[in-house]
A and B are shown apart, each in its own frame.
Chain A
Amino acid sequence: MSALDGRAKLPVVLEIRNLSMRFGGLMALSEVALCVRKREIVSLIGPNGAGKTTLFNCITSIHQPDSGLVLLTDQRGTEHNLTRLRPHQVTGLGMARTFQNIRIFPSMTVLENVMVARHCRTKAGILGALFRPPTVIREERDIEEKSYALLKYMGLEAVYDEDACNLAYGQQRRLEIARALATEPFLLLLDEPAAGMNPHETEALRGMILRIRDEAKLSILLIEHDMNMVMSLSDHIYVMEYGCNIAEGSPEEVRANPDVIQAYLGEAHA
């Protein structure tokens, strides 16, 4: 129980209460609860169709949940209810995400992909674009430098001028992370970042996620099917099935939970 006690001391960053959402007759989420604390890596696992991605979409306001609360506490300690905000406002508050089915901007260059994400941290408007006063020129240079630095951080600097659609699969996944980081989040949501990667790449990605957490000082909420990765990275794990929470706890607890073995690991352990 000592792990849980240690967890309770950290301040809460994201809290989800009783979140429900239905698609027509399908209850995609029912009364889901979840909590992410500062500088934690929290994983969300569950069989296909459990509603993990739908939960992400509700958190980031891409979908409007039918009921429930999504509370985000920013760096200054102010609590925001996200359920009525628009997606860009959520991003502006300091939460960024990647997508399970990669959603880079295919015909923009790699660097431009990241530069777009600086949008919510910069100001230049129509007049600024037309007249290019020194402040705007400085801002543009700043956007370019910060974006390039992030590409370097994710090991993509050599391809910065390529069209994003020409990148290899693993590179595209890393580009999505770089793009998310460019919005300066304090909470990062990763939706199956290792999907489609080979074991080598997955291993490198694991190191990268840890490094991001420690160096960028943020919390991470991770959806992943790769159990090795989940078990070795997570401080806390939530398990979902058919849109409901079925278990939570430290990796050891979850691994030992009979419900989880039944629902999820069952197939592998049978």
Chain B
Amino acid sequence: MRGIVRSLLVSLWFVFLTFPLLVIKVVPNTGEVIWRWKNAAGIGIGIFFLSFIWRALLVKRGLIPQEEAGIGRLMQYLSTPMNKQRVVVACLLICGWGPLLYTIMGSGWSLDRGLAPPLQDGAFTPLQWAVFVARALATFWQEILAALLSFAAVQHAKGNGARMMAILRRPTQPGPARNITIILLFLCLLPLPYLMKIYQINVLIQTFIWVMLGLGLNIVVGQAGLLVLGYVAFYAVGAYTYALGNALLGGAHIGFWFFLPLGGLFAALAGILLSLPVLRLRGDYLAIVTLGFGEIVRLILESGSLSLLPFVGLLPEHVIHSLPTWMKTPLNFGGPAGIGGIPPPGFFGMRMELDDNLRYVYYIALAMTVFTIIAVSRLRDSRLGRSWMALREDEIACEAMGVDKIKAKLTAFALGACWAGFGGALFAAQTSYINPTSFTFMQSALILSVVVLGGLGSILGVALGACILILLPEYLRAFNEYRMLIFGISMVLMMVFRPQGLIMPKRKRRVIAGMDAVPPASAGGFEA
């Protein structure tokens, strides 16, 4: 009873909090106020049920005692596997099949979703079937996911949880299962640009870029343990390298493929430049300084130009005359309006349609993501990666064991920034127009969220985090104005219930001379 009262109060509180946002709506032109009471009811009911789940989870984690939560009856109900299974499956089915029911009721069955099988002369070619199956999978992925999750929940309730997890983990462990998974994933990704709309391809390219950004930041934050908040500055350096470079010396032979490595290089240089003054800083202090760096870069971009004239002006007159003109002309960033007309990547001078160009960028982004994943996992397993990890774990011991701390930090900054530079150049090529609004602190925070949500230090986790954070808002477009709200709530929930991120970092498991690891308890000490 107490629990119900509490949930009621919580839901009232939330209705009150979200009232100005969700209930009151002012029509801009007329000033007329619309009261959307339906929303208030929705929030109230939703929070009422959510607060039970919330408290159940808190009790389970031992954060509050069970008596205080006032959910004894609920816990008792859930204590039998059968009931638990019922609840979970019900929730999943409501969430997953909701869209399908909605479609069926709202717009007549699947024809609207472009699902009609290609009926021509009653015969299907294998290709037609493949396209049909692919479309069906792409259309009903939510329902399929819900079905799979319900199945998993049932198995978990039956006590098969450990076995299920083992099966789920297998694709992440080296071996044939992983190879097959990777090949399948790749085969799924390859035809996508030809199955999707322009907008969707753009979203996917963004996702790839964000995977790269996340993995780059992961080197600095996850592996070397240096909290950097202005990471987007390096992304900006990459993008502006391409945009400005193209404006200054772009031509038939100097294009994307020249500026991509250059963007990475410049970003790496910027990383080294930033890391020099902050070598002694750690934790919060480092975070604040790098935050400032990010803002400085953005302000420079917004202010419009950067010029050597203040320095050049100090020189004697005749020296100024003999200087090359580029030292005397300011570099124009285009200010808040940005820079446009950035050409898409070239393919051996071939002319392409707009759509084909986008598809081409998609494949470049895909290839670069694969390259990034390979590169960062190799770095992680290398001598360098180990020194970063040691630096993160214990700076003093790391130095005492012969690791050059300064060099390790510099390489971490440079390599981390380098990938942001690649991503930036790709971004400029994708959008063909850039301005400072793409490089604000929000973006830095979002990249950091990708890394933290996915799991600090875990490559698979960061990739997953990027997919979720970039794709989720797209799927939440159905709830357009509230999607940031949902986004924020899910981040808070994440931090409360799984602060270590979705996926724990995986280490290279080593097998030496047929030895198998024995738990320390049974290994014995000196006496043995």
Residues of A within 8 A of B (CB): 60, 62, 86-88, 91-92, 96-97, 99, 103-109, 111-112, 115-122, 124-126, 128-130, 132, 136, 139-140, 143-145, 148, 155-162, 166-168, 170-171, 179-180, 182-183, 200-201, 203-205
- CB atoms of B378 and A129 under 8 A apart: yes
Q: Shortest distance in angstroms between B400's beta carbon and chain A's nearest beta carbon?
A: 5
- CB atoms of A116 and B386 under 8 A apart: yes
Q: Shortest distance in angstroms between B391's beta carbon and chain A's nearest beta carbon?
A: 9
Say yes or no: A143-B383 contact (C-beta < 8 A), given A92-B402, A99-B397: yes
Q: Shortest distance in angstroms between A117's beta carbon and chain B's nearest beta carbon?
A: 4
Q: When A and B form their complex, which 9 residue pairs have the shortest distance between CB atoms, in order from nearest?
A: A120-B402, A129-B382, A204-B526, A161-B517, A91-B402, A105-B393, A103-B397, A87-B399, A158-B523
As a 0/1 sequence over residues 357 to 399 of chain B, the CB contacts with chain A under 8 angstroms (1 = contact) are: 0000000000000000001001100111111011001101111
B525 at the interface (CB under 8 A from A): yes
Q: Which stretch in B244-252, B311-319, B337-345, B506-514 binds the other chain?
A: B506-514
Give Cα distance in the complex from A120 to B378, angstroms: 20
* Chain B hits for A121, CB < 8 A: 402
The A interface, classified by DSSP as helix, strand, loop or mixed, is helix
* Chain B hits for A107, CB < 8 A: 393
* Chain A hits for B393, CB < 8 A: 105-108
Residues of B within 8 A of A (CB): 375, 378-379, 382-387, 389-390, 393-394, 396-405, 411, 415, 507, 509-510, 512-513, 515, 517-521, 523-528
* Chain B hits for A105, CB < 8 A: 389-390, 393-394, 397-398
Give Cα distance in the complex from A111 to B528, angstroms: 21
Say yes or no: A129-B384 contact (C-beta < 8 A), given A62-B400, A160-B517: yes
- CB atoms of B512 and A159 under 8 A apart: no
13 A-B contacts (beta carbon < 8 Å): A62-B400, A87-B399, A88-B399, A92-B402, A99-B400, A103-B400, A105-B394, A108-B389, A109-B507, A116-B386, A145-B512, A158-B518, A171-B520
- CB atoms of A124 and B384 under 8 A apart: yes
Q: Shortest distance in angstroms between A79's beta carbon and chain B's nearest beta carbon?
A: 20
Q: Shortest distance in angstroms between B187's beta carbon and chain A's nearest beta carbon?
A: 26
Q: Shortest distance in angstroms between B513's beta carbon and chain A's nearest beta carbon?
A: 8
- CB atoms of B403 and A119 under 8 A apart: yes
- CB atoms of B383 and A129 under 8 A apart: yes
Say yes or no: A119-B402 contact (C-beta < 8 A), given A106-B393, A124-B382, A129-B385: yes
Give Cα distance in the complex from A23 to B523, angstroms: 43
Q: Shortest distance in angstroms between A210's beta carbon and chain B's nearest beta carbon?
A: 14
* Chain B hits for A136, CB < 8 A: 382
Give Cα distance in the complex from A119 to B388, angstroms: 11
- CB atoms of B512 and A132 under 8 A apart: no
- CB atoms of B384 and A125 under 8 A apart: yes
- CB atoms of B402 and A130 under 8 A apart: no
- CB atoms of B397 and A159 under 8 A apart: no
